[in-house]
Structure formats: C-alpha cells, structure tokens
Amino acid sequence: MNLYSPDPSPVQASILQILPLYKPLHAYVRRRLRDVYSDYEDEFPDSGHIPAHILGNMWAQNWGNLLRDVLPFPNHTKADVTNALREQVPVAQVILRS
C-alpha cells in the first residue's frame, strides 16, 4: 500500500480512515498485555507487534479473549451498543450499495 498515492483505492482509503483509531488501540492493548505477561517481557519484540500466540489463535483474528486483561475500567457497567448498531444497519446498506 502506498500511503502517498494521490488516488488511493477504496481499500486503502478505508485503511487510512481506520489507522488513527487502530494505532493507539493496538499500542494500548500491547502495553496492557506486556503488563499482564511481565514475566515474558522478551516475548514482545521491539518491532511493536503483539505476538500471535498471546492473542489466542495463530492468525490473531479475534481479540475477544483479551477483554478481561485489557478492559480499561473492569468494574464499570459496559455500554450496550446493540440497538444503536441495529438502527445504523440501513445506513450501512445504503453506503455499501453506492
């Protein structure tokens, strides 16, 4: 992916939109996991990635099992956004059709 391309593809444009959220989220999760697995500090390389075996499967596709370790306020009530997402489904369908 060429981040400096004057005309990025739709996929590249989506990635560029998500990056400002993804980078700090990834950094936060990595830091919390380093704290949880402090006895294995050498498992976290200087390259900045999170070792896949810590994420639960070899493709690191699902981070759900990390929730208990990385949840910033574990004693607070969790927000339920289900209804808000259901209301936005028609909007998403319109965007995908265009």
Q: Kindly state the DSSP code that residue 40 receives in the 8-state scheme.
A: G
Q: Where are the domains of the chain?
A: 1-74
Quote the CA–CA distance of 79 and 71 in Å, as a whole number. 12
Average pLDDT (4-20) is 81
Confidence of residue 3 (pLDDT cuts 50, 70, 90): low
Q: For the CA atoms of 75, 77, 81, 82, what is the dihedral angle to 10 degrees? A: 100
Q: 30 pLDDT band (50/70/90 cuts)? A: very high
Can you give the pTM of this predicted structure?
A: 0.66
45-88 pLDDT, tens digit each? 888 888 888 887 777 777 778 888 888 887 888 788 888 877 77
Helix (H) or strand (E) holding 35: helix 10-36
